[in-house]
Structure 1
Amino acid sequence: MEDFFMVQDFMQHLPVVILAACVLVSYYLARWILVPVANKLVERSPVKWDNLLAQRRVFIRAAHLVPAIVLALGLPLALDEALDVYGLISRLNNVYFILVGYWVFEGLLNVAMDIYLESPARRHLPIRGLAQAVKLVVFLLCLILALSQIADRSPVFFISGLGAVTAILLFIFKDPLLGLVAGVQITTMDLVRTGDWIEMPKHGADGDVIDVSLTTVRVQNWDRTITAIPAYELVSSSFKNWRGMRDSGGRRIKRAIAVDINSVRFIDHELLERFKGIRLLRPYLEQKVRDLEDHNRRHVSDEEFRVLANGRRLTNIGTFRAYCVAYLRNHSHIHQGLTFLVRQLAPTAEGLPLEIYVFVNDTRWDFYEGVQADIFDHLFAVLPEFGLRAFQLPSGRDVAEVGKALFPSGARAGSLD
Structure 2
Amino acid sequence: MLNIKHFLYDFLVAEGLPENVAIYLNMLGLLLALLLIAFIVDFITKRFLWRFSAGIAKRTKTDFDNILVANKLPRNVAHIIPLLILIEFVPQVFTDFEITQNIIEITLKVITIVLTLQIIRSLLSSIKDYLKTLPRFKDKPIDSYVQVFMIFAWLLGFFSIIAIVTGVSFIEFATTLGAASAVIILIFKDTILGFVASIQVSINDMVRIGDWITFEKYGADGEVTEINLATVKVQNWDKTITTIPTYALISDSFKNWRGMLSSGGRRIKRSVIIKTSTIKFLTDEDIQRLKKIQLVSDYLDNRSHEISSFNESHQIDKSVLINGRNLTNFGLFRKYLQTYIDNHSAINKDMTLMVRQLEPTAQGIPMEIYAFSKDQRWVNYEYIIGDIFDHVLASVTYFDLEIYELSLNQKA
TM-score by length of 1: 0.64
Q: Give 2:324's aligned amino acid.
A: G
What value does the CA root-mean-square deviation take over the aligned residues? 4.1
The answer for the alignment partner of 1:337 in structure 2 is 350
Residue 391, structure 1, aligned to residue 398, structure 2: no
- Following the alignment from structure 2 to structure 1, what is the Cα–Cα distance between the partners of residues 294 and 162? 83
Q: Give 1:261's aligned amino acid.
A: T
Considering only CA atoms, is the larger Rg found in Structure 1 or Structure 2? 1
- Following the alignment from structure 2 to structure 1, what is the Cα–Cα distance between the partners of residues 25 and 241? 58
The answer for the alignment partner of 2:370 in structure 1 is 357
8 Å Cα contact 1:267-1:313 kept in structure 2: yes
- The secondary structure found in structure 2 opposite 1:246 is helix
Q: Give 2:380's aligned amino acid.
A: F
Among 358, 361, 365, the residue aligned to 1:348: 361
Among 325, 341, 344, the residue aligned to 1:312: 325
Q: Give 1:393's aligned amino acid.
A: L
- The secondary structure found in structure 2 opposite 1:325 is helix
TM-superposed deviation, 1:352? 1.2
8 Å Cα contact 2:316-2:323 kept in structure 1: no
Counterparts in 2 of 1:293 and 1:94: CA distance versus 1, 3 Å = same
The answer for the alignment partner of 1:208 in structure 2 is 223
- Following the alignment from structure 2 to structure 1, what is the Cα–Cα distance between the partners of residues 404 and 154? 67
Counterparts in 2 of 1:146 and 1:248: CA distance versus 1, 3 Å = closer
The answer for the alignment partner of 2:247 in structure 1 is 232
The answer for the alignment partner of 1:218 in structure 2 is 233
Instruction: Give the alignment of 1:17-32 within 5 angstroms.
Output: none
Among 322, 334, 354, the residue aligned to 1:321: 334
Among 161, 184, 187, the residue aligned to 2:176: 161
- The secondary structure found in structure 1 opposite 2:267 is strand
Query: Deviation digits for residues 199-234 of structure 1, max 9, x if unmatched?
Result: 121222211111222333221111212222233332
TM-superposed deviation, 1:138? 5.2
Counterparts in 2 of 1:74 and 1:301: CA distance versus 1, 3 Å = closer
- Following the alignment from structure 1 to structure 2, what is the Cα–Cα distance between the partners of residues 256 and 230? 38
TM-superposed deviation, 1:365? 1.4
* Identity, % of aligned positions: 38
TM-superposed deviation, 1:253? 0.7
Among 271, 275, 280, the residue aligned to 2:290: 275
- Following the alignment from structure 1 to structure 2, what is the Cα–Cα distance between the partners of residues 306 and 365? 53
Residue 190, structure 1, aligned to residue 205, structure 2: yes
TM-score by length of 2: 0.64
Query: Deviation digits for residues 250-272 of structure 1, max 9, x if unmatched?
Result: 11110001111121112223322
TM-superposed deviation, 1:249? 0.6
8 Å Cα contact 2:27-2:93 kept in structure 1: no
Q: Give 2:293's aligned amino acid.
A: I
Query: Deviation digits for residues 85-111 of structure 1, max 9, x if unmatched?
Result: x5x665566667789999999xxxxxx
Counterparts in 2 of 1:248 and 1:189: CA distance versus 1, 3 Å = same
TM-superposed deviation, 1:237? 2.8
TM-superposed deviation, 1:349? 1.9
8 Å Cα contact 2:27-2:94 kept in structure 1: no
Q: Give 2:335's aligned amino acid.
A: A
Residue 379, structure 1, aligned to residue 389, structure 2: no
8 Å Cα contact 2:307-2:325 kept in structure 1: yes
The answer for the alignment partner of 1:293 in structure 2 is 308
- The secondary structure found in structure 1 opposite 2:360 is coil
8 Å Cα contact 1:250-1:359 kept in structure 2: yes
Task: Count how many residue pairs are aligned between Structure 1 and Structure 2.
Answer: 317
Instruction: Give the alignment of 1:138-153 within 5 angstroms.
Output: 141-142=157-158, 145-146=161-162, 149-150=165-166, 153=168
- Following the alignment from structure 1 to structure 2, what is the Cα–Cα distance between the partners of residues 274 and 228? 60
8 Å Cα contact 2:90-2:105 kept in structure 1: no
Counterparts in 2 of 1:93 and 1:218: CA distance versus 1, 3 Å = same
The answer for the alignment partner of 2:264 in structure 1 is 249
Among 163, 166, 172, the residue aligned to 2:187: 172
- The secondary structure found in structure 2 opposite 1:274 is helix
TM-superposed deviation, 1:334? 1.1
- Following the alignment from structure 2 to structure 1, what is the Cα–Cα distance between the partners of residues 309 and 228? 69
Counterparts in 2 of 1:253 and 1:297: CA distance versus 1, 3 Å = same
Counterparts in 2 of 1:135 and 1:95: CA distance versus 1, 3 Å = farther
TM-superposed deviation, 1:187? 2.7
8 Å Cα contact 1:300-1:310 kept in structure 2: no
Q: Give 1:173's aligned amino acid.
A: F
Counterparts in 2 of 1:100 and 1:164: CA distance versus 1, 3 Å = same
Counterparts in 2 of 1:142 and 1:189: CA distance versus 1, 3 Å = closer
8 Å Cα contact 1:339-1:358 kept in structure 2: yes
Residue 368, structure 1, aligned to residue 385, structure 2: no
